[in-house]
Structure 1
């Protein structure tokens, strides 16, 4: 792998310019982890767990943690297995099964989210939803690549010219089904599309399926770093409910906390941020 990373060893690679070879290794690992999600949903009696904790989540993260350390040994922040933060310029940020609550209810669309921060900037993202209504969906990118990859094929949407109009779609959580009238109002003139996993919502926006994705809960970096990288690749971004661009610290935490987040085209997110989304929280958790 010389020429891509600058140097290599049996223990991994020091990242110089990121690119396809590194990304391919991460994608292969994430696809392997996705088989655990498929197997868990096929268990007699359904997946193990309760509330927002599934037993398979830690199993997936352990697999990812071990594999990512071989691909690029650096810092690591995971939802399930904790953090190893030493001040390395690179940091893996992992959610092994974003959308666990919906997953435990048998809902398709939860996603594995693997992001990489380089000097506190999202420089790689792989978001994989093994089970969706359209089949398995893996959306990926690494800095240095000219386009996203979707299920191995290059896709090159541009969010810059997107507008909030009657032809566009805003992705929201499954809980939006409990308040369809208000969600329709806040997304208008676009239509709204409910689905699990903020990571996968952001990834689908980056891939050109929608103009924005909304999350109305206090997201953490492991929820969004991978999706944020994908949005960066196509000229999009990620903002808090205050309209502030989300940024990360050396500890892979947000520089400023985010209660809600809005990802996608800048012009669209500026409009969405101004709408009274807090009204939805009176009767529903989104």
Structure 2
């Protein structure tokens, strides 16, 4: 697909911009709460990606995390306003802003493209280690151009599961409840600070599963397609199929999906 090269190029450019600002005195501004922050680097990266897309595809729509917040519109409002038969780019310029602010590696650039609500491509780029995860619908998933596949673990007791801690307190409490149950069932639990990175790692077989409540489309869209194209499974916490409106994500290698869902009920 012609769009994947554009997505990868823009992700690399945004990653280079982020790395160039590492070590600077970065001010983290609160958004919806003290747990939800943004920096000028987030805004600059989103603008870079937006301009890059519109310079080649002026008729495409863009759903960016920072622009959506500034417009004070809900995700549902933005998605419902997107016209049918329109390409929609879904952008998270820095997924893992708290990692970036703290100087911790593991933040990512996430770019996806959807058409009529169906994901067509996804790119998750980790500039700290120059890892480009990508997928095009029907063509498989890749890491730096090499095919990847989900793990073959069949039980939670041997699985490494990841989660994150969302900014909304009710969603955060739901994650804590899941932790209380899951800690007795799986080998160990990790939290790497970026939902997109967690999903990419499920696709690459580094993690066997991931769940988190209260996520938005820009956090997960690219990673969802990477997992699916790598042979994994993605649903909401009730087991329903993923859609762009899904807020509570469960992603696994497919083999431990039902077991993970049972723990989270």
- The interval holding the TM-score normalised by the smaller chain is 0.7 to 0.9
- Could you tell me the TM-score, scaled by structure 2's length? 0.79
Report the Cα distance in structure 1 between the residues aligned to 2:153 and 2:250, rounded to whole angstroms: 15
How many Å apart are 1:119 and its aligned residue? Answer: 2.4
Report the Cα distance in structure 2 between the residues aligned to 1:239 and 1:28, rounded to whole angstroms: 29
Corresponding position: 1:206 with 2:191: no
1:156-195 paired onto structure 2 within 5 Å: 156-158=148-150, 161-173=152-164, 183=179, 186-187=182-183, 188-195=185-192
Corresponding position: 1:222 with 2:218: yes
Corresponding position: 1:26 with 2:7: yes
How many Å apart are 1:233 and its aligned residue? Answer: 0.7
Unaligned runs of 5+ in 2: 31-36, 69-77, 167-171
Q: Does the residue aligned with 2:242 lie in a helix, a strand or coil?
A: coil
- The 8 Å contact of residues 50 and 104 in structure 1, kept in 2 or not, is answered as no
- The 8 Å contact of residues 243 and 273 in structure 1, kept in 2 or not, is answered as yes
Report the Cα distance in structure 2 between the residues aligned to 1:174 and 1:41, rounded to whole angstroms: 23
Q: Does the residue aligned with 1:242 lie in a helix, a strand or coil?
A: coil
Report the Cα distance in structure 2 between the residues aligned to 1:53 and 1:29, rounded to whole angstroms: 20
Unaligned runs of 5+ in 1: 1-17, 249-253, 278-286
Q: Does the residue aligned with 2:62 lie in a helix, a strand or coil?
A: strand
The count of residues paired between Structure 1 and Structure 2 equals 239
RMSD between aligned residues: 2.8
- Could you tell me the TM-score, scaled by structure 1's length? 0.74
Report the Cα distance in structure 1 between the residues aligned to 2:188 and 2:54, rounded to whole angstroms: 41
Query: Which residue number corresponds to residue 53 of structure 1?
Result: 38
Q: Does the residue aligned with 1:232 lie in a helix, a strand or coil?
A: helix
- The 8 Å contact of residues 78 and 95 in structure 1, kept in 2 or not, is answered as yes
Report the Cα distance in structure 1 between the residues aligned to 2:148 and 2:15, rounded to whole angstroms: 25
Q: Does the residue aligned with 1:157 lie in a helix, a strand or coil?
A: coil
Query: Which residue number corresponds to residue 136 of structure 1?
Result: 130
Residue deviations 1:202-230, cap 9 Å, x none? 011112211111213x1111111101111
- The 8 Å contact of residues 130 and 136 in structure 1, kept in 2 or not, is answered as yes
Q: Does the residue aligned with 1:266 lie in a helix, a strand or coil?
A: coil
Residue deviations 1:74-93, cap 9 Å, x none? 12111112368333332101
Corresponding position: 1:240 with 2:232: no
Check 1:164–1:37 CA distance in 2 against 1; reply closer, same or farther (3 A cut).
farther
Query: Which residue number corresponds to residue 148 of structure 1?
Result: 141
Corresponding position: 1:85 with 2:73: no
Q: Does the residue aligned with 2:263 lie in a helix, a strand or coil?
A: coil
Corresponding position: 1:40 with 2:37: no
- The 8 Å contact of residues 184 and 192 in structure 1, kept in 2 or not, is answered as no
Query: Which residue number corresponds to residue 47 of structure 2?
Result: 62
How many Å apart are 1:195 and its aligned residue? Answer: 0.2
- The 8 Å contact of residues 150 and 208 in structure 2, kept in 1 or not, is answered as no
- The 8 Å contact of residues 114 and 127 in structure 1, kept in 2 or not, is answered as yes
- The 8 Å contact of residues 160 and 186 in structure 2, kept in 1 or not, is answered as no
How many Å apart are 1:66 and its aligned residue? Answer: 1.2
- The 8 Å contact of residues 95 and 219 in structure 2, kept in 1 or not, is answered as yes
Bigger radius of gyration, 1 or 2?
1
